[in-house]
Amino acid sequence: MFNRDHFIQDCTKAVADGPAAIREIMADAFSDCGRLMSELGEPQHAGITPIHRSRDLTIINFVWAPCMSLMPHNHQMFSVVGIYSGREDNVFWRRTERSIEAAGAKSLGAGDVTVLGHDIIHSVLNPIGKMTCAIHVYGGDFFEPEQPRSEWDHETLVERPWNIDNVKSLFQEAEVRFNAANKVS
Ligand SMILES: [Fe+2]
């Protein structure tokens, strides 16, 4: 049964053993998505809420705004993604001589847990008209990675330095845009 404090303790112990060990803990937690929701609370707003942050481990509660997308980016550390409500459509990209190109996709629904390798480049779409909730566990400090991280413009696929403030704004803007379109104040 998911317990926030125990989950953090278990991930802290397991992170040195790599993504497979984290995945095992996640798979157990995500076998009961209702329990995760009640422990973490119904989402009020889209955004990135850290549950735990240290040099070698970051645990984030992601709430994706309805129909929002996030441009291609890398992490420079492994991550394990679990969905406890809604859906995340991931597009995976690979580097080309001058830019990147789409190389694959994976759609994740409630209860799904997947590992993203250290060098993965992905973009994320919440394809549904409600918030999608996920926990992402990173094998490093997500907010201050040791190796510089990149993002790619969604339209031109031009690479630029990753900007966490920009990313946080995108979540807020997407929520405002969706609410305005649906005339929710
Ligand atoms: Fe990501």
Candidates 153, 5, 141, 134; CA nearest to 93 is 153
DSSP character string of 67-134? T-EEEEEE-SS-EEEEEEESEEEEEEEEE-SSSEEEEEEEEEETT-EEEE-TT-EEEEE--SSS-EEE
Distance 60 CA to ligand 1 centre (A): 11
- State in Å: Cα 69 to ligand 1 middle: 11
Instruction: State in Å: Cα 75 to ligand 1 middle.
Output: 6
pLDDT at 25 over 60: yes
Q: How confident is the model at residue 182 (pLDDT cuts 50, 70, 90)?
A: confident
Mean pLDDT of 167-184: 89
pLDDT beyond 70 at 185: no
* pLDDT value at residue 7: 97
Q: Which residue has the higher pLDDT, 184 or 7?
A: 7
Q: How far apart are the CA of 160 and the centre of ligand 1, in A?
A: 15
Q: What percent of the chain has pLDDT over 90?
A: 96
What would the pLDDT profile of 44-69 be if each residue is shown by its tens digit? 999 999 999 999 999 999 999 999 99
- Whole-structure pTM value: 0.94
- The burial of 69, by beta-carbon neighbours within 10 Å (0-12 exposed, 13-18 middle, 19 or more buried), is given as middle
**Could you tell me the distance, in angstroms and rounded to a whole number, from the CA of residue 147 to the centre of ligand 1?**
15
What separation in Å is there between the alpha carbon of 31 and the centre of ligand 1?
22
Q: Is the pLDDT of residue 184 over 60?
A: no
For residue 62, report the distance from its CA to the centre of ligand 1, in Å: 10
